[in-house]
Amino acid sequence: MWPDRRLIDLFKTEFPIVLAPMAGVTDQDLAIAVAEGGGLGSLACAMVSAEKAREQVNILRQRISAPVNMNFFCHKPVELTPEAEARWKQRLAGYYAELGLDPAAPVSFANRAPFDAAFCEVVEELKPEIVSFHFGLPEPALLRRVQAAGCLVISSATTVKEAVWLEQHGVDAVIAQGAEAGGHRGMFLTDKIAEQPGTFALVPQVVDAVKVPVIAAGGIADGRGIAAAFALGAAGVQIGSAYLRCPESRVSAAGRAALAEGRDDSTVITNVMTGRPARGVQNRLMREVGPISADAPPFPHAANALGPLKAAAEKQGRVDFTNLWAGQAIALGREVPAAELTRDLAKSALARMKALAG
Ligand SMILES: Cc1cc2nc3c(=O)[nH]c(=O)nc-3n(C[C@H](O)[C@H](O)[C@H](O)COP(=O)(O)O)c2cc1C
């Protein structure tokens, strides 16, 4: 019944729906629920250790027999220079003073480690059916090891040029991530944020430029969006924001409240939370310092000095410094179990496509 079965055949899932990996706010529970609903469950590994990633896959494998996607970042680590750190601390000094925090106190922060040998060993050991990358691909030797383990490899492209590059470097499918998408822009051949195309423009141009199946991502949150993605030539969709309010996600209570109030214009692309452009619900820091600031140190270091501010504000019930990543379609998200949501998405997409076909 799906007009294009290439992704279903490749991933061996019931539906061509991929749960977007969402580091920091999801774990195996959401992946299991989406897999139970017939989609592809994804485990975001960017903010967990190799050990934790192994544990999550093992839990998933015990609970369900379904393909799984392990997702990793593959940015090139950049040192934080003392000058960049001092400039950022200076920029945030007023907030530290307001919250009564000592800017000189050491901070502990959630790291965002790129795919490395330790992660690669976990992949070789557990052989997830699919491995997805964000920010390009890992170095060739690591990539070859992932492929040799029998994993399908997919990665995000934010421009046609990135999609062609990914295909030339051996991916099995390309995720075309439009500017509407929540979370970090997967951009890796460009840093020109103002040039990033939206999903509706990007998907058909990527479809024309590559032979591998294209997975549309960004702003897709219901059957209409899925039907539109297929009309544009996509063979599947990757959906993130629409799953954030599911009971299986790990979004905080304050975050859930902000998402529930979300509108079409609630989010912005900002670099002030981590140093890399990402779309999230606009907060006080994004409004007052961003959304784009030259003072933000490179990814992921901008997040370090924000840790104490985030924690202190959250204690007071405020999300002034919280990176609540979400896309432009958050208002379409619903508070329903993820398996049910996945089945509903597939059903309503098929009904919409049937109606359009007359
Ligand atoms: C909260 C959140 C966290 C995200 N974290 C990741 C991640 O760890 N890895 C990744 O490849 N993409 C990540 N993304 C981007 C998604 O893969 C995807 O491009 C996006 O969710 C699609 O747009 P949508 O949110 O409008 O559905 C994240 C998105 C969100 C909303």
Task: Please give the residue range of the domain that contains residue 186.
Answer: 6-77+114-260+328-357
H or E stretch at 153: strand 152-157
Same domain, 57 and 120: yes
Mean local confidence (pLDDT), 144-150: 98
Same domain, 227 and 241: yes
Mean local confidence (pLDDT), 158-179: 98
Same domain, 232 and 338: yes
Average pLDDT, whole number, for the chain? 96
Asked if pLDDT for residue 358 goes beyond 90, the answer is: no
Mean local confidence (pLDDT), 303-323: 93
Mean local confidence (pLDDT), 329-341: 97
Of 177, 206, 187, 203, nearest to 18 by C-alpha is 177
d(CA 53, CA 47): 9
List ligand 1's pocket residues with C-beta within 6 A.
20-23, 25, 44, 46, 71, 134, 156, 177, 180-183, 217-220, 238-242, 325-327, 329
Q: Is residue 49 part of a domain?
A: yes
Same domain, 83 and 73: no
pLDDT tens per residue, range 232-242: 999 999 999 99
Q: Is residue 351 part of a domain?
A: yes
Same domain, 169 and 244: yes
Of 217, 219, 215, 210, nearest to 236 by C-alpha is 215
Instruction: Give the distance (Å) from ligand 1 centre to CA of residue 20.
Output: 5
Same domain, 84 and 58: no
Tell me 198's DSSP state: P
Token pair, residue 327, equals 């896309």
H or E stretch at 160: helix 160-168
Same domain, 191 and 44: yes
What 3-state class would DSSP assign to 281?
A: strand
Same domain, 316 and 353: no
Q: Is residue 60 part of a domain?
A: yes
pLDDT of residue 254: 87
Instruction: Give the distance (Å) from ligand 1 centre to CA of residue 326.
Output: 8
Confidence of residue 149 (pLDDT cuts 50, 70, 90): very high
Count of domains observed in the chain: 2
Of 326, 205, 227, nearest to 17 by C-alpha is 227
Q: Is residue 1 part of a domain?
A: no
Least confident of 73-87, 107-121, 190-204, 321-335: 107-121
Q: Is residue 72 part of a domain?
A: yes
Same domain, 307 and 167: no
pLDDT tens per residue, range 219-272: 999 999 999 999 999 999 999 999 999 999 999 988 999 999 999 999 999 999
Same domain, 229 and 184: yes
Confidence of residue 317 (pLDDT cuts 50, 70, 90): confident
Q: From the CA of 219, give the closest atom in ligand 1.
A: 26
pLDDT of residue 104: 87
Same domain, 174 and 226: yes
pLDDT tens per residue, range 51-62: 999 999 999 999
Asked if pLDDT for residue 111 goes beyond 80, the answer is: no
Confidence of residue 110 (pLDDT cuts 50, 70, 90): low
Instruction: Give the distance (Å) from ligand 1 centre to CA of residue 182.
Output: 5
pLDDT of residue 44: 97
